[in-house]
Each structure stands twice: as C-alpha cells, then as structure tokens.
Chains A and B, each alone.
Chain A
C-alpha cells in the first residue's frame, strides 16, 4: 500500500516510515502542509497519516481542503490530544479515524484496515500463493471459489507467511507480530494460532509446515 505521512518531527517521521516499510508498505513523507499539497497533486495514496500541529499551519485545514476538493483518500489523524472533546471535531471535519500519540503500530494497522474496509476496499491489497489469495483489507482467504473470513490474529499471521512463502519464521518472530508489546504472550500461544491456520487452509494449495527447532514456513501442498 502507498501511504503519505504528514509529520513535522523528523525523528518520529523517520521511525514511522521505517516501521511501515518493514511491513512492506511504500511511504512518502511530507514535513509541511505545502509539501503535502504538492505530493497529493501528483501521486495517488491509499491512505494519509496526518499530524495536526505543523510548522506552516493546522492539519485540520489541510483535511478540510481535501474534503472540499472532493478528494476521498482516507485520512487517519495522528493527534497528541487525547481528550474525547478534542477528537470529536476531527471526525466532523472528515477524518476517517484518529490515533493518539504515542501509538502502537499494530493498532495503527488495525485502524488502517478498518478504514480501508469501510471505504469498500478500493485499495488492492491482496497476496496470492499457490492458488490461495489473502485479502488483507477484507480479512478474507479465497481459494477454489471459497471465501473464508479470518479473525484479526489469523490474518496478521497469514500476512507474515504470504509475504515470504517458503521462508522459515521463528516462534519469537511470530509472537512479536501477533501480540501487542504491552501484552505478555507465551510460545504456546503460537502453536494454538498455527493450528487454527492449518484448519483454515485445509483444502487450499498452501499449508504450514513445522521446521523442527527453527519455526514454521508456508509451502505449496
């Protein structure tokens, strides 16, 4: 997916870009509203992440201009203000959602997914392996004309496997992807989820294989 990040703090912008790239997204960064306006004029984004306090103005003005210009690109506002009263106005201005600093990337991902799903899945966000298609936005697995709805953690785990079929992922790596960092999770939990995924993939061209002592990988059946 292609993101536009509008954030004036270079350090925060740097790590957010790095983190989103780790998940395989393309991210452009604008430090000011005028840069952002230039970028939106030439490129199409699946989603805009917008900070409110910017050196050349208020992010809310940018949001209003976008909506007045009938640009429907979903916007998630990154705000430092957490009180409910501050957030209500953002949604009225046309923001699709907001996230409060400091934020958890898995929560940001979940919100992005929810926003894109609400938009009707305009962004093509599918991965295919061995005749099996994973639709991240809709949270679905499709093969042989079947559509299987996935729960959030099943989806996130499958995303890891679909991004690199044949690659062996350690339990620790999978735990990191699956649980929020403020949660405690045991390695046993991964076995539970892998078990579920195997059930989901039954009848498809793909399967998840245990690599003794190393972890798991997805291979064609």
Chain B
C-alpha cells in the first residue's frame, strides 16, 4: 500500500475495507443479539410452561398426583409447528410424559430452572427443567418437571434474522462504499483543481500558483512556487546572457560587414573584390546559422508545452510575406499572395508558426532565381494547407524525408549559404501542432512546393 499508484484508489480501497469490517461486525452483532433474544423467549415460555406444570403438582396420601394443565402445553404449541415433549419424574419414576426424555443428571436448584440443548429423537431440542418439592415437611418429595421443544421455529426465526441482518449489512456496505468513492473524490478535488490550473498554463507562464489550497497542500504549492521562481530567474539569466552575447558578437560583426562593403566599393581589382565577397559570405553564414540555431532552440522549448492561442493563419501568412517582401524585392522576386480574404481560425502558438513560415519563405527566396515568382497560398479542404511554391532549383535528387533532419541540406545547394535547420524548424512546428511538413516538386514547372498541413479545428 506504500508504493506509488493512485491515491484515490488507495483511499477508496481503505475506506471500503473499513466499511466491510464494520458491516460484518454489524451483521454479527445484530444476528447475535436477535438470536439470543429469540432463544430467551423460547426459554421463558418453556420455563413458564414447566412452572405451570410444577404448580399443578399435588401431594395426596404421600403420592404425587398431577392434573396436567392444558394451558401449560398450549402456550408452547402456539409458537410454531414445533413438537413439544415433557416428562415429570418423581423419585426416579416417570409420572407422566415421555419416559426417554433425558433429564439433567443433577436436578436443578430450587427456583432456578436448568436449561439445556440436547438431541432427542433425531431433533435438536431445548429443554427446561424445574425442581419442585411436593408435600410438606419431611414427606416432601422432589419432583423434576422437564418441558422441551424442538428448535425449528427458532431456526426459522434465526434464518429470517440472518437474512435481514445480511440485507442491512450489505446495504450499509454498499452505501458506505459509495460514500467512500465520493469522499475519495472530494478529498482529492483540490489536487485535481491545482493540477488543472498548472497544466493549462502556456510555456512561458511562470507566475506563482494562486490556488485556494487546503492546508495539507500548502507546502506542496509553496515548493512548486519556489521552484517556478528559481526556474524563472534561471530562464531570465539565460535570456540576459543570450542577449548580451548576441549583442557583443553581432555588433562587431556588423561593423566588419559594413566596413567590408565600403571597402568593396572602393577596391578595383577583381581578386580583391572576390576576397571581400568571401568574407561577407562567411559573416552572413555564421549570422544565419546562429539565428536558426536560436530559432530551433526556441521551437524545442515552446513545443514541449504548446501555447493554445486563438490565431488567424491567414494574418500570420500575410505578416510573413510583409516581413520578407523587401528581401525578395532585392532579387526582383515577386511574392504572389493567394491567401484569400477570410480569417482562418486556428489554435496554437503564433510565434512558432511565424518562425516556421519565415524559415520556409526565407529558404524559397534564397534558392529562387532572380526575376521569379513565389506563390504564397492558403488552401482549406479537409485540412489547412499553407504553402510556398517557388521556381527555384527544387531539391534535385535529395531524399525529401532527409531534408527535415537537422543540418541536412539538399544535394544541389551548390554554394548558397545555409545551415540546414530551416526545414527542421518548420517540420517540428508542424508536428507540435498535429500537422506535417510536405515537400513536393512544383506541379507547374521547375521549383518546389513546401507546405505546412494542419488538421482543421
């Protein structure tokens, strides 16, 4: 019972066991008391009957005579179909009744009837014996009167009592079990409530839990809150570090790049210009890779506990096209929008979706030739498809399923700067939202079509 498992189940089983023990005890007590009461009633009637017979004993001329009162036996007969036996013995001689009806070896004391349970003629009987002196003075003889009755009536009553007690016991058990189920549930309700309020949080919500918790849960909540505050400060330290590091690395890089551009303008010899170009490409490559690695780390972090924001996929698509429009413009690439006018409702993490779409479009621009078109499309059929179709070099002979593997790039990328993380980011974002990334050749000519496909909400 000490191992892990469900507290609710354990609590319920323990309460149910207690209920079972109590029900059993209740059953035994009720049956015991009731049976003793029934037995006592029979004993009282038997001893009343024996006393009545004893009362009608007379001494005549030294002989003991008996005028058996009818009522003495009729009061017994009324109980049930039980048979009644009697025997009156005076000085070892049976005066009347069944001579073989056993009598106690030692006659009971005066005024205190002796009670026994015996077997007589194959039946269990209850026998009450009364000792009565008949006559006066020294002539008095001790007469023992025994009245017995079979116990079928008592057994019937006992069965009835047992049945009733069983019924009550079972009812009590069922009721107690149901109550313990409810009690276990209601005792654990605060835990369920707090769990729910923590689970529903977004990935970046590290505010303390403000639940109205019962006293027993307060230490747990405090521990949770102190953990969250440590996590928050650790995250903010990491964030500060990344910001500071990015600033310190990228600012000099920007200086170098700008200086290189100016120098490039002023130089005349082609081989010098070529050298500067190489330098600028290296700077661009490192900056791009760093950016994608940060994006990838963010995707991994946020995908763990996905935010459930109400989003408009069409707006995110339009924003992505706006953002990368100037970049495409530099190569005279036109981004054609076939994204409709109606909002496309979707639940998910807007930042992740934006990162995925930006990486796909950025890739498309990078691999597209000058003066070409990229089509951004939002299509809604059985699912929602966000796609970018370019007129670039496509993915050649590359195994398309490999492209979503980290740092894997197409077989025909040539000398274009890239890290191979862009499609991995898009793929992970798609999967986190229950969708998938699809890469196919452009149906209308050269190039590729990269799509994010999501189930409809």
Interface residues, chain A, CB within 8 Å of chain B?
Answer: 9, 11-12, 15-16, 18-19, 22, 52-53, 78, 80-85, 88, 97, 100-107, 110-111, 113-114, 151-153, 172, 176, 180-184, 189
With a cutoff of 8 Å between Cβ atoms, the chain A residues found around residue B330 in the complex are 106-107, 110, 152-153, 180
| Cβ contact within 8 Å between A107 and B327 | yes
- Residue-wise interface mask of B (325-362) relative to A, using a CB-CB cutoff of 8 A (1 in contact, 0 not): 11101111000000000000000000100110010000
| Cβ contact within 8 Å between B262 and A182 | no
B283 at interface, CB cutoff 8 A:
yes
Q: With the chains together, A83 CA to B243 CA distance in Å?
A: 10
- Residue-wise interface mask of B (252-280) relative to A, using a CB-CB cutoff of 8 A (1 in contact, 0 not): 11111111111011001010010011001
The 25 sampled A-B contact pairs (Cβ below 8 Å) are: A9-B252, A12-B251, A12-B255, A12-B258, A19-B258, A19-B261, A53-B247, A80-B250, A81-B243, A82-B287, A83-B291, A88-B354, A97-B323, A102-B256, A104-B284, A106-B330, A107-B327, A107-B330, A113-B326, A114-B325, A152-B331, A153-B330, A172-B273, A181-B264, A182-B277
Q: With the chains together, A22 CA to B258 CA distance in Å?
A: 12
Residue of B nearest to A18 (CB): B262
| Cβ contact within 8 Å between B243 and A53 | yes
With a cutoff of 8 Å between Cβ atoms, the chain B residues found around residue A114 in the complex are 325-326, 329
Given contacts A19-B262, A100-B287, A102-B258, 8 further A-B contacts (CB under 8 A): A11-B255, A16-B258, A22-B265, A52-B247, A152-B332, A172-B268, A172-B270, A184-B415
B298 at interface, CB cutoff 8 A:
yes
| Cβ contact within 8 Å between B253 and A182 | no
| Cβ contact within 8 Å between A153 and B332 | yes
| Cβ contact within 8 Å between A182 and B251 | no
Q: With the chains together, A107 CA to B254 CA distance in Å?
A: 13
With a cutoff of 8 Å between Cβ atoms, the chain A residues found around residue B331 in the complex are 152, 180, 183
Interface residues, chain B, CB within 8 Å of chain A?
Answer: 242-243, 246-247, 249-262, 264-265, 268, 270, 273, 276-277, 280-281, 283-284, 287, 290-291, 294-295, 298, 323, 325-327, 329-332, 351, 354-355, 358, 370-371, 415, 417
Q: With the chains together, A176 CA to B261 CA distance in Å?
A: 9
Looking at the complex, which one of A53, A84, A105, A182 makes contact with B258 (CB distance below 8 Å)? A105
Kindly name the residue among A11, A84, A103, A153 whose own CB sees the greatest number of chain B CB atoms within 10 A.
A84
B4: shortest Cβ distance to chain A, in Å?
Answer: 37
Looking at the complex, which one of B250, B291, B332 makes contact with A151 (CB distance below 8 Å)? B332
B352: shortest Cβ distance to chain A, in Å?
Answer: 8
From known contacts A80-B246, A153-B332, A182-B280, infer whether A111 and B258 are also in contact, taking CB-CB under 8 Å: no
Q: With the chains together, A12 CA to B250 CA distance in Å?
A: 11
With a cutoff of 8 Å between Cβ atoms, the chain A residues found around residue B264 in the complex are 176, 181
With a cutoff of 8 Å between Cβ atoms, the chain B residues found around residue A104 in the complex are 257, 261, 284
| Cβ contact within 8 Å between A84 and B358 | yes
Looking at the complex, which one of A101, A153, A181, A184 makes contact with B261 (CB distance below 8 Å)? A181
Q: With the chains together, A88 CA to B53 CA distance in Å?
A: 110
| Cβ contact within 8 Å between B276 and A12 | no
| Cβ contact within 8 Å between A82 and B262 | no
B250: shortest Cβ distance to chain A, in Å?
Answer: 4
From known contacts A15-B255, A182-B277, infer whether A82 and B294 are also in contact, taking CB-CB under 8 Å: yes
| Cβ contact within 8 Å between A15 and B262 | yes
From known contacts A22-B265, A80-B246, infer whether A103 and B257 are also in contact, taking CB-CB under 8 Å: yes
B349: shortest Cβ distance to chain A, in Å?
Answer: 10
A211: shortest Cβ distance to chain B, in Å?
Answer: 17
Looking at the complex, which one of A19, A152, A172 makes contact with B329 (CB distance below 8 Å)? A152
The 8 residue pairs across chains A and B that have the minimum distance between CB atoms: A82-B291, A110-B326, A102-B254, A15-B258, A101-B254, A101-B250, A102-B257, A80-B250
Q: With the chains together, A83 CA to B256 CA distance in Å?
A: 22
Q: With the chains together, A85 CA to B277 CA distance in Å?
A: 31
Q: With the chains together, A11 CA to B258 CA distance in Å?
A: 10
| Cβ contact within 8 Å between B258 and A181 | no
Kindly name the residue among A18, A102, A183 whose own CB sees the greatest number of chain B CB atoms within 10 A.
A102
| Cβ contact within 8 Å between B253 and A101 | yes
B236: shortest Cβ distance to chain A, in Å?
Answer: 14
| Cβ contact within 8 Å between B326 and A9 | no
| Cβ contact within 8 Å between B291 and A100 | yes
With a cutoff of 8 Å between Cβ atoms, the chain A residues found around residue B294 in the complex are 81-83
Q: With the chains together, A104 CA to B249 CA distance in Å?
A: 17
B304: shortest Cβ distance to chain A, in Å?
Answer: 15
| Cβ contact within 8 Å between A103 and B351 | no
With a cutoff of 8 Å between Cβ atoms, the chain B residues found around residue A11 in the complex are 252, 255
A117: shortest Cβ distance to chain B, in Å?
Answer: 10
Residue of A nearest to B245 (CB): A80
With a cutoff of 8 Å between Cβ atoms, the chain B residues found around residue A18 in the complex are 262
| Cβ contact within 8 Å between B351 and A9 | no
